[in-house]
Structure 1
C-alpha cells in the first residue's frame, strides 16, 4: 500500500522513456483512482459510474495504440491480515473526510460537488490539477464499477483477474516471470523483485490522444547500481526498509544506513517478508468439493468470501480470527443513522446462504461501516438458522413478485427502488426506529415541490445513500448466490435457486439511484404516488391536520435543511425477523 517517501526519494533515478513497443501489466485499483483523478481534473468531483466506465475504456483504447500489448489487469480480492490496521486507518480517514465536508456545508451540499460539469466534454489528457478544496470522498463503488465496465467490454474482459491476494504482488510476480512494465501508483512495487521488469507511475505518464506517450521509468536493478548497492541479496528491499524507517533522510544517509548493521533484525525480516513471501488465500471449496471461483465478484465481497471459507497458504482456518466486511463509505449524512443499518437483514441472509455453500466454523461477520479509528470493533452480524432463512427467502420472493405487479405501468419509479423503500420502512418499524425514507417521502408529499437549486439538502443525499445501500446489499446477495455450482442447487432449498434467477436483472452501478434521480422521486406528485404504492406493503399512517401544523411549526423554527444537531441512537442488530414479510400487512 506504499512506502512513505520512497517515490520522492528515488525520483532523480527515474529515466525518461516511452511506452512504445512495451508489454504492460496494470495495477487495477490504481487504474480506477487514476480515472477518478482525470475526472476531477476536468472539474467533475463526483463522476457518474457511467462516465467512469466510458472513460476507463477510452483510456485503455488509447494506451493499446501505444504499447505492444496489455498483458493483464489485476485487482486484489484479499487483504493480508497484517495490513488490516492500514485498511482501518484508510477507512477512518475517509469517514473523517466525509464528516469534515458535512461540517463545512451544514445547509446542504453544493451541486457542483455532486454533479460537476457536462460529462460529454471530458479531456482524458488534461494537464489541469483537480481542486482539493472541500473535496467529497470518492464514489462509494468506484473500483467495482470500473471492474464492471471492463467486464462488459470484449476487448478487456479477458485481461481482468481478481486475485486471492494483493494486486501489486501479482503484478510483481508477472513481471519477474515475463518482464515488461507495470503501471501503478503504489511505491511498494519498487521494492518487489521484478526480475527484468520496470515500474511506471500513472502520474508520470505524459499522454495525448495522438502523440507518443512519454513517461518516467524506474528500473530497480539500475537504481541499485547507481546507488552503489548490489542488485542481488535483497538490497532494494533494504533500501526500502531504510526509507520506511527514516522517510525524510537524504539519499547519502540512506545508502550509508544500508551498509550498516541492521538495527532490528526481527522488524527488518517482517518488512521483507511482505515482498518476498506474498500472503495468499486458498480458494474456498464447496460442500460438494468444488472450488469457488472469484471471477465475477466485487473485491469487498470476494475478500469476505475468502475469509469465511478459506485458509492462507501459511495457516489453516482459525475460527478465532473474525471475518470482516468493509462496507464502502457512503456519501451520506454522518450525523444520522448509517444508511447501511436498515438493509442489514439482506446481507445477513447472504452471509447465511454462503455458509450453506461453503461450510465453516465462523457464524458471524463483523461489518465495518463508519470506521472512526484503528481500534474500531465493527458491528457483529450473526448468521440465522436455516429454517428461518428459508421463511425469509419465501417472503422475499413473494414481495419481489408483488412489487413487480404493482409498479407495472407506473412511470417514474422502478420496482427495485420501491422494493428497497418498502424493506427500509418495514425494518425501521420492526426496530421501532424512524425511517428516513418514509420521513422524507411524507414531507415531500405534503409540501409544494421546491425548485432545483445550487444546494442539495442533506436529507436528499441521505435518502439516496439508503437506496444505494439497499441495492448494494442485494448485489452482495446476488453475487453470493452466483457462487453455487450448477450441480449443487439440489443440495440447497429450492427458494435459493428461484431467488438467484429473480435477482439477475438487479440494476448495475450505472443504474443505481443518483441524487438527481432521488430529487425527482421527491417531487410532490411522485412522492404521493410512491406512498400510495408503499401502503400496499407497510403501514403508513395518514397524519392528522394538527400533526401537519405542528410539523410546519417545527420546520419554521428550524429553518433550512441543515444537519441535525444530535446523532440518532445506535440501532440494534437483529438475529432474525420478518423484514421480508411485507405481504403479511395485507392479510
Structure 2
C-alpha cells in the first residue's frame, strides 16, 4: 500500500525502540524469543533487493535474465534461520489477491516495465545490455513461487506458510493481534516492508518491524542475535488520545493522504490528536485496515498454499472461491481481469503469452461461469492491453490445444511439458521462421532436470543473451506457467470437470514437474554457450541462413568435442532418446511440408496467365 511520510510522522510521537533478541534475564534463564509474523511477499522482494545489490556489472545480465532460483531459495532459507535466533515464527503470509482499487496502480507498473523494455530494445539492439537502462531491473516472474517452494521444502516452516485471499498485510496484523490477545506479556512482531502495518488495530504487545531495520549480529558471548527497531502502534494510539483500537492512527494516516494540513496540528502541542476527532475516514480506505473474517469450514475450502501469487489470484477471482476475498469485492459485470506475470520479451515480436493460451482457457472454464469474459492483461506491442477470452463460445483452434493434445506425439513422448515445446515450434513454423536445431535442443534442455552428479554447466556471458533467445525463453516460461495454472486448478476440490477437461490430460498433468524445474535458464543457455554467436558484418538474410544451417555435429566445442556430444551430457540416457525422437518428428514434419511445396510448384509450373486468369 504505502502512505508517504507515515513513519516519519509517527516518529514525532514515539520513536521506535531498538532491541536485540533473544533476551536472557539476570537469573540466566532460558533466552526468550518473541513471536514473529512475517509478510512473506514483502520478504521475497526484500531478499531479492539484497541479492541484486551484490551483482557486478558483468554478472547483471546473466544473473537477472537467467535468474538462479535455487540460489535465491538458499538465501530465503538462510534469512529464516537467522531470524529464528531471536524470534519464533508463528506465521508466514503471502499475497493471494489484490483488491480492485489497485487496478490503475497495477496497469501503471506494467506500462512502466514495458517503457523500460522498449528503451532497452532501442539502445541494445543485438545482445541485451542492462547498463544502458540502469533504472530498469526486471523482476524474476516466478519469484513468489520460488519463495514459497523454498519454505515448503522445510518441515519446520511448511505448516506456517499460507497463501491468503487478499494482501498479506491484514492477515499478518490479525495473527499478531490474536497472539497478543492470548498472551499476557509476550510480544508479537510483524516483519514487513509496508509501513502502514502500524495503522492496523493492535494490542499493547503488538509491534511492527521493517525489514531494512533488521540486523543479524554476533554478541560478545559469541551467540547470534537479531537487532530490530520496533514500532508500537498501541502506544502511538494512546499518545494521540485514542483508546487503543487504532481509530486515531487511522485518521492520522487518512489525513496524510487527503488532508495534510491537519497532520502538523495533530502531532504537536500538549493536546496531541485532538484535531483528529472530526475526521471522517473514507469507507474504502478504512476497509483496507479491517481484519479478515475467519473462513468457515465447508466442502470447497481453498488450499492453504498456492505456489504462485498470480495463480492464486486467478482462483480467488472466480465465483467459486471469490467469497473468501478480503476485502470483499466483485468485478463489475461479467468481465474478470487476469494479470499475467510480466516477462522480459522482444517487443518487436508478438506477446509471449500467445503460448499456453489453450491451457489457461481450460483453467478459466473450470473456474468461471460460461458467461464470464476473461480479460488477460499483458503486453501488446509497446502498451498494456487486453486479450478477451469469451468462455461461452471460445472455439478457436488455439484454445482447443489443451483438450485435443498433440496427436503426433508417440506414446513414449506423451509428456505434458513437451506440449509446450511443440506449441512454440508450431508458432515459429506457422510464421515461416522455423527454429534451428540448436533452439529446439535449448528448449528441451530447459525443460529437463539436470541429472544428478552431472558436470558443471558452462558459464553464461552477457553477449549470449540475445533478443531472439530471450524471447524464446519467455515463451517457454509462458507455456510452463499456463500448464502449472491448469494443473493447480484441475486439482481443486469440487470443480465440475465433465466436458471441460479430458481425463487423459488430468492424468498427464499429474506428472507435470515442479514449476521451477521446467524452465531452467542455465540449462537453456548452456546449449548456446558452445555455438558461435559472432556474426558481425553479415546481412540479416545471411544471419537467418546461418541460423538455419547450424548443425550441431559440425560445431566444435571448447574441449574439442561436438556440441551434440556436450548436449548429451545434459540429459539422462532415457531423456536423450526422447530428444532424438522430438528432433526426428520435427525433421519429418519439415520434410513433408517441403514435399508439399514442391508438389504445388510442379502443379503450377505449366500454368500460364491470360487476362488475369491462371490457366494450366
The CA distance in 1 between the partners of 2:246 and 2:43, in whole Å, is 32
1:99-138 equivalences under 5 Å are 99-110=118-129, 133-138=134-139
Q: CA deviation at 1:402?
A: 4.5
Q: Paired residue for 1:476?
A: 485
Report how far residue 327 of structure 1 moved: 0.8
CA, structure 1 residues 247+147, in 2 after alignment: closer, same or farther (shift >3 Å)? farther
- Which one of the candidate residues 58, 73, 85 is aligned to 2:78? 58
The match for 1:534 among 586, 595, 605 is: 586
Judged with a 3 Å threshold, the aligned counterparts in structure 2 of structure 1 residues 315 and 110 are, in CA distance, closer, same or farther, namely closer
- SS in structure 1 of the partner of residue 141 of structure 2: coil
Deviates more, 1:340-349 or 1:254-263: 254-263
- Classify the secondary structure of the residue corresponding to 2:225: coil
Structure number with greater CO (CA < 8 Å, separation at least 6) is 1
SS at match of 2:83: helix
Provide closer, same or farther for how the CA distance between residues 482 and 532 of structure 1 changes in structure 2, counting only shifts above 3 A.
same
Match of 1:88 among 95, 102, 107: 107
Aligned length: 494
Asked if 1:422 corresponds to 2:432, the answer is no
Whole-Å Cα distance in 2 between the matches of residues 399 and 247 of structure 1?
66
SS in 1 for 2:224: coil
> 498, 509, 512: which is aligned to 2:504?
498
Q: Measure, in 1, the Cα distance between the counterparts of 2:112 and 2:261.
A: 23
Say if 1:189 and 1:105 are closer, same or farther in 2 by CA, change over 3 A: same
Give deviations 1:315-367, integer Å, cap 9, x for gaps: 79667052221111112223322111132122112222334xxxx35432111
Per-residue deviation at 1:477? 1.1
Matches within 5 A, 1:42-191: 42-43=54-55, 45=60, 46=64, 47-67=67-87, 69-110=88-129, 133-179=134-180, 180-191=188-199
Q: Which residue of 2 aligns with 1:260?
A: 275
SS in 2 for 1:464: helix
Given that 1:349 and 1:384 are in contact with CA atoms closer than 8 Å, whether structure 2 keeps it comes out as no
Q: Give the aligned partner of residue 611 of structure 2.
A: none
Change (3 A) 1:443 1:505: closer
CA spacing shift, 1:216–1:433, aligned 2, 3 Å? same
- SS at structure 2 position matched to 1:139: coil
- 1:164–1:282 contact (8 Å) kept in structure 2: no
Within the candidate set 15, 35, 38, 1:26 is matched to 38
Deviates more, 1:79-88 or 1:144-153: 79-88
* 3-state SS, counterpart of residue 25 of structure 1: strand
Rounded Cα–Cα distance in structure 1 between residues aligned with 2:267 and 2:45:
31
Counterpart Cα distance in 1 of 2:191 and 2:410: 47
Specify whether residues 392 and 261 from structure 1 end up closer, same or farther in structure 2 by C-alpha distance, changes over 3 A only: closer
Do structure 1's residue 517 and structure 2's residue 519 form an aligned pair? no
CA contact (8 A) 1:283 1:306 kept: no
Secondary structure at 1:340 match in 2: helix
CA distance in 2, matches of 1:248, 1:92: 33
- Which residue of 2 is the match for residue 273 of structure 1? 287
- Unaligned residue ranges in structure 1 (runs of 5+): 114-131, 406-414, 445-450, 544-587
* Helix, strand or coil at the partner of 1:195: coil
- Pairwise CA distance, 1:531: 5.2
Task: Note the residue ranges of structure 2 that are not aligned, 5 or more in a row.
Answer: 23-32, 181-187, 443-458, 532-549, 553-562, 565-579, 596-616
Matched, 1:3 2:3: yes
Change (3 A) 1:384 1:297: farther
Query: Which is worse superposed, 138-147 or 228-237?
Result: 228-237
Give secondary structure in 2 for the equivalent of 1:158. Answer: coil
Q: Secondary structure at the match of 2:89?
A: strand
Structure 2 length-normalised TM: 0.69
Q: Does 1:37 align with 2:54?
A: no
Determine the C-alpha separation between the residues in 1 that align with 2:131 and 2:417. Answer: 25
Distance 2:378 2:335 in 1: 16
**Hey, what's the Cα distance between the residues in 1 that align with 2:137 and 2:419?**
29
Separation in 2, partners of 1:136, 1:343: 26
Query: RMSD over aligned Cα, in angstroms?
Result: 4.1
The answer (yes or no) to whether the contact 2:374–2:390 under 8 Å persists in 1 is yes
Q: CA deviation at 1:141?
A: 0.8
Q: CA 1:239/1:504 → structure 2, altered by over 3 Å: closer, same or farther?
A: same
Q: Is the contact between residue 359 and residue 402 of structure 2 (CA under 8 Å) also seen in structure 1? A: no
- Indicate conservation of the 8 Å contact 1:397/1:499, yes or no: no
Q: Quote the Cα distance in structure 1 between the aligned partners of 2:203 and 2:408.
A: 57
Say if 2:317 is the partner of 1:324. Answer: no
In structure 2, C-alpha distance between the alignment counterparts of 1:401 and 1:247, rounded to whole Å: 68
CA contact (8 A) 1:78 1:165 kept: yes
Secondary structure in 1 matching 2:251: helix
Residues of 1 paired with 2:499 and 2:284: CA distance? 46
Question: Residue 213 of structure 1: SS of its match in structure 2?
Answer: strand
Corresponding residue for residue 556 of structure 2: none
Matches within 5 A, 1:231-242: 231-232=244-245, 234-242=247-255
